[in-house]
Amino acid sequence: MTKRASVETTAEAYLELLAARGVEYLFANAGTDFAPLIDAYAKRLAQGQPLPRPLTVPHEVPALGMAHGYAMVTGRPQAVMVHVIVGAANALGGLINAARSNVPMLFTAGRTPITEAGMRGSRNRPIHWAQESFDQGAMVREFVKWDYELRSFAQLETVVDRALALTLAEPQGPVYLTLPREVLAERQEVFEYQDASRAPRPAALVAAPEAIAEVAQLLASARNPLLLSKAAGRDPGAPAALVRLAEALGAPVVDQFHTYLNFPQDHPLHAGFDAAPYLEEADLVVAIESDVPWFPALRAPRAETPIVQIAVDPLFSRYPIRGFAADAALAGTVRRNLLALADALPARLDAARVAERAARWRAAHARQREAWAAGARRVAGDRPIDMVWLSRCVGDLLDDRTIVVDEYDFDPTQGCLRVPGSYFASPPSGGLGWGLGAALGAKLAAPDKTVICCVGDGSYIFGAPTAAHFVARAYGIPVLFVVFNNRAWNAVKRAVRSYAPEGWTQKTGTMPLSDLEPAPDYELVCRASGGHAERVEDPAELPAALARALRAVREEKRQALLNVICKKP
């Protein structure tokens, strides 16, 4: 059905179309290129048309993080707009994160006015000459699925619908649209568009029956199969499918380098977070939505061990080099392929072998969880605070109504998450600063849930915290931020130690370019935007401090931050 809207400009028609296509938010860091959009917004807001809701985000890093966080919780892409090429440059790290996480996003930027005079929107500021590039899309093209410049009002519906369809098509990822000021400023009277997009929407896919049968036979023949997954939980339906498969086999599941909740962590077949101890004995390894299932330079399965890869794109074709072998591979919708395997297995399995294997892994699961708990008890009184103890104190707060956004330092052995969509960790690309914005976006997407953001102090700095706390206050987004403050970039230190375990850093006890001292008083940054914030140095005080912070978030509906002073690596 055709809809008809009275509009004054292309910019207003663009906002009308985004709202009609279900885009709830425009996360924006504005510049001179926004003038037509801002004027159109003023009209729409005056007329009671608030969507997509405009949110002022004073730095591109949290703006991209918010769109990322909203989409990872809801599965629905949101719009981000930044200021021409300079804004796109600031946003590039977040765009890479979205690309490598397969997160849908409509990433947009203004385009410096093309004309020097003669059109509404022509150049009228000094920066309009210096901010133009020969090929604005070239800067982001490697990390977006599609890029285009809106060239006329006549193509608006086609362009927007194509952008949204492409970002949602698997493998999902961001798309890039540039919006010249002259085009946005063009005067219009009427905008006619279809009430729903008719762009092609590919359906969920399952591998061919013969491919399913081949993998099912490999699984049935194995005595010690090992399942591992990094990001199956990107689809909230996949964890239940993985449970069905694991239970049918009586086989363990390892959350290897996990970025999502892939498997309920209280399930007796959950085998922890490190597959390395099991690789030697495994006689079949199934890597599920895992770009890096192990480190070949450190430990890998035996050469004769069959490998199965299951992923939307088992080749990870956007990675320039990736050499993990596969004796069989299932492409398509992970949930559907896991269910198809579970359905194909019963007639092929030895029930006694399955029962024996499941009993063995149930016992291992119980021993493992007790060992993890004992590890936290051993360091409960350490001062400075041990990150394991801090993780245990956070873990004790987790329930089925809590979402954890983790940028590096929460120890997953100290929690027990069960619900799909309750855990999100740093993107595989590791662009720092993701956590603060992602937590704000997650809270926007799930306002009835508690969102706890665990970040290292280095990640906190990268997250543009002044901008992030501003947004939390301005739009009433109460998130609990826990800073694991070890006054260092521990990832850098670990990399140096693994590279040169007996090198000069060990001989001299010095490691340049890795320390973050003297550390700022991070709690003051949050307080400056009206948040509850404390510095915590006594491990015995942690539970009470966390309780106070949660009370501020849940009852007072304001953000909170704990600056927890941890052991320095």
Domain with CATH 3.40.50.1220 in the chain: 209-367
**From CA 3, how far away is CA 56, in angstroms rounded?**
30
At the topology level, CATH places domain 209-367 in: Rossmann fold (3.40.50)
Amino acid (1-letter code) at residue 349: L
Tell me the CATH number for domain 2-194. Answer: 3.40.50.970
The neighbouring-strand residues paired with 331 are 311
Closest by CA position to 65, among listed 426, 479, 458: 426
Backbone angles phi, psi at 250, to 5 degrees: 65, 30
Which helix (H) or strand (E) covers residue 561, if one does?
Answer: strand 560-565
Q: What CATH class does 379-565 carry?
A: alpha beta
Per-residue pLDDT tens, the chain, 569 aa: give them: 999 999 999 999 999 999 999 999 999 999 999 999 999 999 999 999 999 999 999 999 999 999 999 999 999 999 999 999 999 999 999 999 999 999 999 999 999 999 999 999 999 999 999 999 999 999 999 999 999 999 999 999 999 999 999 999 999 999 999 999 999 999 999 999 999 999 999 999 999 999 999 999 999 999 999 999 999 999 999 999 999 999 999 999 999 999 999 999 999 999 999 999 999 999 999 999 999 999 999 999 999 999 999 999 999 999 999 999 999 999 999 999 999 999 999 999 999 999 999 999 999 999 999 999 999 999 999 999 999 999 999 999 999 999 999 998 999 999 999 999 999 999 999 999 999 999 999 999 999 999 999 999 999 999 999 999 999 999 999 999 999 999 998 888 888 898 999 899 999 989 999 999 999 999 999 999 999 999 999 999 999 999 999 999 999 999 999 999 999 99
CA distances from 528 to 151, 250, 314, 551 (A): 43, 53, 47, 19
Where exactly does CATH 3.40.50.970 map onto the chain? 2-194, 379-565
The amino acid at 547: A
User: Which residues, at least 6 apart from 245, have a Cβ–Cβ distance to it below 8 Å?
Assistant: 227, 338, 339, 341, 342, 345
Rounded-to-integer distance, Cα 352 and Cα 342, Å: 17
DSSP collapsed to 3 states, 102-113: CCCEEEEEEECC
Pairing of strands 402-407, 174-180: unpaired
Secondary structure (DSSP) of 20-60: HTT--EEEE---GGGHHHHHHHHHHHHTT--PSEEEE-SSH
Task: Specify the pLDDT at position 246.
Answer: 98
pTM score of the predicted model: 0.96
Dihedral Cα 32, 38, 39, 41, nearest 10 deg: 170
Closest by CA position to 104, among listed 175, 22, 23, 173: 173
The predicted pLDDT at position 494 comes to 87
What DSSP string describes 270-290?
Answer: B--S--HHHHTT-SEEEEES-
Q: Is 321 exposed, middle or buried (0-12, 13-18, 19+ CB in 10 A)?
A: exposed
Tokens encoding 202: 């590919």
Q: What is the pLDDT of residue 44?
A: 95
- pLDDT at site 43: 97
Q: Which amino acid is at 398?
A: L
Give the tokens for residue 382: 């350490």
pLDDT of residue 201: 93
